[in-house]
Homo-oligomer: A and B are copies of this chain.
């Protein structure tokens, strides 16, 4: 018998925690009164087991539950269902960790590129990487393409669509991808430094697939996907079918209150193939604490079976004046994503501001002749 171990933080009175833990184990396996489980084989091999209960601060307990691997059928959607299906509906339960035995883990190829693949693609072996988001949505295709060209001229490694940019009348997907690819290519010819446009792939599975095909045919190498919006199983399908893309994973719709951010974005997204999970940085406009962000980045990079390390991408209310602090905290195996703060400038001023971003990251974390080699816009 093989078991995976899922860990939950449960708020409870001390006298009720054992009962709640046992109830959770039943909920996440046979989901019926144990009296209705008459078959000894099912009791032995299928019913989940409470492996340990530890106090974790006032009124909170860390509960490890062993779930039979066989119940997952080795499939993505069913794995989600078994580790956090019904108990996501319980009050005061947070899903915080999962350990998969080797044989189950081996069924998940994880990131196809990971940190090393992204570094090779952007030709940056050591320094921290840079990313910018094109905003605001509502811009027409020619405006987005112009912004893309400017940011590529500045040498930003990955220039992504804002996650709100989809397939709207003001910037239809195909037209936008074509224009931004051309704009980035033009800038790269001028600078000699690789920069990649990452379009946002969003839609129902059928649309996702069509859009992925179109992007691939246009030479796109990096894409942005929000796995919780499209659905984790749909994300898995996409990565399996289009393994050549580098996947930036966006946290939208992640509503992480019930799943620890480090687990959802740092580990589960990676397990399903995200090369670079984007997450909301501490001290920005979201509520994450610094140690939570640190744990997330560590989880994305930590050894985990044969899975490639994924590149953490802090984002959300980032500012140029925090680059020193952020790189000191996250280290160079990081891609900084600055969105709106960069776009406080436009035109020539945007080019200068984006260069400041690129140069600062390079100066703090790397060594390159990039600034010298670069022609003007």
Contacts and interface: CB of A to CB of B under 8 A. Distances in A.
Interface of A: 23, 27, 29-33, 35-39, 41-42, 45-47, 70-73, 75-78, 80-82, 84-86, 88-91, 135-139, 143, 162-164, 166-170, 202-208, 226, 229-234, 236-237, 240, 251-259, 280, 285-287, 316, 339-341, 343-344, 346
A339 B31 contact: yes
Q: What number of copies of this chain does the assembly contain? A: 2
A237 B39 contact: no
B31 A255 contact: no
A36 B234 contact: no
Contacts of A285: 23, 27
B30 A237 contact: no
A72 B287 CA distance: 26
A73 B137 CA distance: 12
B33 A340 contact: yes
Contacts of A205: 205-206, 231, 233-234, 237
10 contacts: A32-B339, A42-B136, A71-B137, A75-B202, A80-B229, A81-B229, A89-B254, A230-B233, A231-B233, A231-B234
Given A205-B234, A255-B257, 11 more contacts: A30-B135, A30-B137, A32-B339, A33-B344, A70-B169, A81-B166, A84-B253, A89-B251, A204-B237, A230-B233, A255-B259
Nearest to A91: B287
Contact of A204 (B39, B77, B90): B77
Nearest to A92: B287
Contacts of A204: 75-77, 233-234, 236-237, 240
Contacts of A38: 346
B77 A203 contact: yes
